[in-house]
Amino acid sequence: MSPRRLIAMSRKEFIQIVRDPRSLLIALLMPVMQMVLLGYGVSLDAKNIPVYVYDQEGSQDSQALLKRFQASPYFDVRKTVNSYRDLRYAIDSDRCKLAIVIPFDFSRKLRDTGFAPVQVIVDGTDDNTANLSKGYARAVIARFSADVQHNWLQRQGMPIAASNGNISVDTRIWFNEDLESRNFIIPGIVALVMALVGALLTSLTIAREWERGTMEQLLSTPITPSEVMLGKLIPYFMVGMADAALCLMMSVWWFGVPFRGTLASFFTTTALFLIVILGIGFMISVAIRNQLGASMIALLVTLMPTSLLSGYAFPIDQMPAAVRAITYLVYSRYYVTILKAIYLKGVGVKALGAEMTALAVYAAVIGLLATRAFRKTLD
Amino acid sequence: MEPEIAVEGLSKRFGPVSAVDCLSFAVNRGEIFGLVGPDGAGKTTTMRMLAGVMSCDGGRMKVAGHDVAANAEAVKGSISYMPQRFGLYEDLTVDENIRFYADLFGVARTERRERGAMLLKAAGMTEFRDRLAGKLSGGMKQKLGLICALIHRPRVLLLDEPTTGVDPVSRREFWQVLYSLLAQGVTIIISTAYLDEAERCSRLALLHKGRLLLCDTPENLKKRMPGATVVVSSPQARDLRELLAGAEGVSTVILVGAGLHLVVDDADRRVPELKARIQSAGIAFDEITASEPAIEDLFVAYVQGR
Ligand SMILES: Nc1ncnc2c1ncn2[C@@H]1O[C@H](COP(=O)(O)OP(=O)(O)O)[C@@H](O)[C@H]1O
Ligand SMILES: [Mg+2]
């Protein structure tokens, strides 16, 4: 390995990136666009869910409960109706996603027994929103009933401490207390950006030499295959790391996602992931000697699994068992898991030993294969 | 003295096509050796194998003391290869291309500067050193190719049709540089489509369908020429070809530029005969003279003779 030739190759490649508008666009604009599009577009948050109310009783207690719904940022109480038929119509015509029915004996049951049923009707057509709104509604009601029971017990003259028969359901969300789905998704978008930019750029690098006819002369020089590979990948590695930093800054300062881990663990894992991505892009570029074909294949083998099987937006534990098994083969799965943990839990590299090892093994194997992929011959 | 390049029984097949078929020749130090032949003769394939960028199916190649067939990489520090298709980076400037190739061949920085400046000056390209290679004219691109090839003082220079599509002035400058290299002991193999260039080589190999037809100096090749050459220049060369093909004593008729080359058995006897024949047919012509045979005539005579 000659440092001289390595640097010459890297410098040449770097100049070519800087002078190629398409490469520049991919390197600089793509990450920002991805972050913005996906960060805003795929937000799974259900905020301001439209709610209709059928309050059969119209008492102080029922109004107190409805006020809780009004106060919640997740719900937007739009209208009060007077029949099930109206509710049905509202849901069918998409005017509301959730309906609350308060029975006529609500306050009496509450007063006498401390327990009163409330009916919540959810529009199940959108599975995801349905689940979320059901959960939010349950939380609002649980909090309300806890307060009511508290008061009731006090009125009965019972000491609160002795009320061990009453189990209050207290749901606590860990690591993402605001239940912001954006916080779950944005760390994963970093992986998506790395896969997209890294694979797209490197897939062009060898194919370009073949297409433009510069390969033949390059092959006639004393440069070694590993100098070609490393020399070409170093600039893309630096571009990738810069893009990662850009994504990190955008996610924290623009989207307000908490970042609780250390920069060192973030960049270490990103480096490993980049090695995998660049290695794959390089091998594709070697195998497919034209730029268009190479970039298509590169997207297929890096972006597809990263967006579908890494768990960045679609939770892996909700996938069918067979698909779940496949995700263990997807390198991005480990990176996404680590990223989320670094961002939201702030754990160090040590706590993620298994994932880190998997990623490192992947990087080593791909790196080795990539070194052998390039042969210095025309045939 | 051991030849600088020795090729023995070199062969390369592409499926059913025998691109190079049992080729043997030797080139001495300081020679400029020409590979001549029509498209598809196997010139490029031969160059590629000698440059170590393509494997051979059989035979031996010794270039600058290295066995290329056995270990292609060893020879690469001692040679320079200019492929038929422009092989430099069009999005790099002249200087950046020179620097890239100098670095790949491990040329020291000061030497690169001095030698680069000297070569640029010799090629008349000093004022273009900051221009992108893609923005150069065809002739300048080829000169830049030569500069990049010479930045590391190669022992052997392999040039595949370096002057195709290059204007005559640039071609002359190109050849001047080549001659100065020969004086320094560099050995050159050049393939060319221009036969006037072929005659400037110290020796020539005539290739046809991958086989070596003849290999000798241009003078000796011409001496082997059976009969004599008659040149007719005429604006109606095609009509003349019809007329004269198969005339008594004429063995071959080929179109060359704005005229014909005829191979005849005896020039003194046939020139007046032919002249009379053309005049009686009423075809316009400017001149008809006996001439030195050109390599091209030899080539056609040989290929047709087979
Ligand atoms: N890479 C290749 N694959 C298949 N056939 C080839 C290849 N390169 C050359 N050939 C064939 O080999 C023969 C010699 O080609 P080439 O060496 O390019 O001749 P020249 O340079 O004299 O025009 C031609 O018939 C050509 O079609
Ligand atoms: Mg050729």
The pLDDT tens digits for A306-325 are 888 888 777 787 788 888 88
| Stretch A79-83: mean pLDDT | 90
Q: Which residues contact B106 (CB under 8 A, 6 or more apart)?
A: A2, A4, A5, A222, B77, B152
Does the pLDDT at position B202 exceed 80? yes
Q: Which chain A residues are Cβ-neighbours of B76 within 8 angstroms?
A: 220-222
pLDDT score at B306: 54
Residue in B closest to A214 by C-alpha = B87
State whether A216 and B53 contact (CB < 8 Å): yes
pLDDT score at A7: 97
Protein residue with least CA distance to atom 2, ligand 1:
B14
User: Which member of B73, B83, B106 has the closest CB to residue A216?
Assistant: B83
pLDDT, greater one: A164 or A368: A368
Ligand 1 atom with minimal separation from the B41 CA = 22
Q: Does the beta carbon of B19 sit less than 6 angstroms from any atom of ligand 1?
A: yes
Residue with tokens 């078929």: B21
d(C-alpha A245, C-alpha B163), whole Å: 50
Quick one: which of B254, B289, B263, B255 has its CA closest to B275?
A: B289
pLDDT score at A176: 47
**Nearest-10 Cα torsion for B75, B77, B80, B85:** 80
**B98: its two tokens:** 């020179």
ipTM of the modeled complex:
0.85
Chains A & B: contacts with CB separation below 8 Å? 79
d(C-alpha A177, C-alpha A331), whole Å: 28
Residue A169 falls inside a structural domain: no
pLDDT score at A42: 55
| Stretch B83-107: mean pLDDT | 96
pLDDT score at A179: 47
Name residue B297's amino acid.
D
User: Which member of A2, A15, A220 has the closest CB to residue B76?
Assistant: A220
Query: Hey, is the C-beta of B52 within 8 angstroms of any chain A C-beta?
Result: yes
pLDDT score at A181: 67
d(C-alpha A225, C-alpha A51), whole Å: 65
Q: Are B201 and B258 in contact (CB under 8 A)?
A: no
Protein residue with least CA distance to atom 5, ligand 1:
B14
Q: Does the beta carbon of B44 sit less than 6 angstroms from any atom of ligand 1?
A: yes
pLDDT score at A107: 83
Residue A173 falls inside a structural domain: no
State whether B106 and A216 contact (CB < 8 Å): no
pLDDT, greater one: B241 or A374: A374
Averaging pLDDT over each range in A32-41, B142-151, B175-184, which range is the top one? Answer: B142-151
Q: Does the beta carbon of B41 sit less than 6 angstroms from any atom of ligand 1?
A: yes
Does the pLDDT at position B294 exceed 80? no
**A297: its two tokens:** 């294949």
Question: Distance from the CA of A223 to the center of ligand 2, in angstroms?
Answer: 25
Most A CBs within 10 Å, among B47, B55, B57, B91, to test the A interface = B91
Q: To which H or E segment does residue B24 belong?
A: strand B17-27
Neighbours of A289 (CB within 10 A): 15
pLDDT score at A38: 80
Does the pLDDT at position A17 exceed 90? yes
pLDDT score at A159: 59
| Stretch A245-272: mean pLDDT | 91
> Among positive and negative, which fits the CA dihedral A209, A213, A215, A218?
negative
Q: Which ligand is nearest to the CA of B19?
A: 1
> What residues does CATH 3.30.70.100 cover in chain B?
228-305
pLDDT score at A44: 55
Mean pLDDT across chain A: 84
Residue that finishes a domain, picked among A163, A195, A215: A163
Does the pLDDT at position A279 exceed 80? yes
State whether A4 and B76 contact (CB < 8 Å): no
Does the pLDDT at position B213 exceed 80? yes
Least confident of A169-173, A283-287, B11-15, B186-190: A169-173
pLDDT score at A165: 36
For residue B132, give the DSSP letter.
B
Q: Which chain B residues are Cβ-neighbours of A218 within 8 angstroms?
A: 87
Q: Does the beta carbon of B17 sit less than 6 angstroms from any atom of ligand 1?
A: yes
> What residues does CATH 3.40.50.300 cover in chain B?
5-221
Query: Hey, is the C-beta of B51 within 8 angstroms of any chain A C-beta?
Result: yes
Same domain assignment for residues A29 and A89: no
Query: Hey, is the C-beta of A70 within 8 angstroms of any chain B C-beta?
Result: no
Residue A168 falls inside a structural domain: no
pLDDT, greater one: A12 or B39: A12
pLDDT score at A323: 87
> Among positive and negative, which fits the CA dihedral B134, B135, B141, B147?
negative
Same domain assignment for residues A231 and A362: yes
pLDDT grade for B123, boundaries at 50, 70 and 90: confident
State whether B106 and A376 contact (CB < 8 Å): no
Q: Which ligand is nearest to the CA of B207?
A: 1
| Stretch A51-79: mean pLDDT | 87
State whether A12 and B89 contact (CB < 8 Å): yes
Domain count, chain A: 2
Same domain assignment for residues A316 and A186: yes
Domain membership of residue A118 as a residue range: 49-163
Question: Distance from the CA of A31 to the center of ligand 2, in angstroms?
Answer: 45
User: Which member of B73, B80, B89 has the closest CB to residue A214?
Assistant: B89
Q: What b/e sequence results for A342-367 when a residue is b if at least 16 CB atoms lie within 10 Å of its CB, and e otherwise? A: bbbbeeebeebeebbebbbebbeebb
Residue A335 falls inside a structural domain: yes
Does the pLDDT at position A169 exceed 70? no
Query: Hey, is the C-beta of B91 within 8 angstroms of any chain A C-beta?
Result: yes
State whether A216 and B92 contact (CB < 8 Å): no
Quick one: which of A82, A68, A71 has its CA closest to A142?
A: A68
**B257: its two tokens:** 């530029």
Cα of A167 vs its chain's centroid, Å: 35
Quick one: which of A237, A160, A243, A181 has its CA closest to A205?
A: A237
Strands (E), chain A: 49-55, 75-80, 98-102, 119-122
Residue A139 falls inside a structural domain: yes
Domain B228-305 in CATH 3.40.50.1820? The answer is no
Least confident of A7-16, A332-341, B227-236: B227-236
Least confident of A262-276, A287-301, B190-204: B190-204
pLDDT score at B240: 84
Q: Does the beta carbon of B205 sit less than 6 angstroms from any atom of ligand 1?
A: no
Residue that finishes a domain, picked among A131, A163, A195: A163
Q: Does the beta carbon of B23 sit less than 6 angstroms from any atom of ligand 1?
A: no
Q: Which residues contact A290 (CB under 8 A, 6 or more apart)?
A: A207, A210, A211
Q: Does the beta carbon of B142 sit less than 6 angstroms from any atom of ligand 1?
A: no
Give the rounded percent of residues in chain A with a pLDDT score beyond 90: 37
pLDDT score at A158: 64
Q: Which residues contact A175 (CB under 8 A, 6 or more apart)?
A: A344, A345
pLDDT score at B272: 86
d(C-alpha A208, C-alpha B120), whole Å: 28
Same domain assignment for residues A108 and A233: no
* CA-based R_g, chain B, Å: 22
pLDDT score at A162: 42
- Summarize pLDDT for A96-150 with one digit per residue, the tens: 888 888 888 888 887 777 677 888 888 777 666 677 777 788 888 878 877 777 7
Least confident of A146-155, A168-177, A202-211, A319-328: A168-177
Same domain assignment for residues A214 and A299: yes
Does the pLDDT at position B301 exceed 50? yes
Least confident of A196-200, A332-336, B219-223: B219-223
Same domain assignment for residues A346 and A198: yes
pLDDT, greater one: B157 or B244: B157
Quick one: which of A13, A143, A28, A12 has its CA closest to A74?
A: A143
**Nearest-10 Cα torsion for A300, A304, A306, A309:** -130
| Stretch B172-183: mean pLDDT | 89
Does the pLDDT at position A64 exceed 90? no
Ligand 1 atom with minimal separation from the B38 CA = 22
Quick one: which of B83, B60, B66 has its CA closest to B158?
A: B83
Same domain assignment for residues A34 and A110: no
User: Which member of B81, B82, B100 has the closest CB to residue A8?
Assistant: B100
Q: To which H or E segment does residue B222 belong?
A: helix B218-223
pLDDT, greater one: B204 or A161: B204
Domain B5-221 in CATH 3.40.50.620? The answer is no
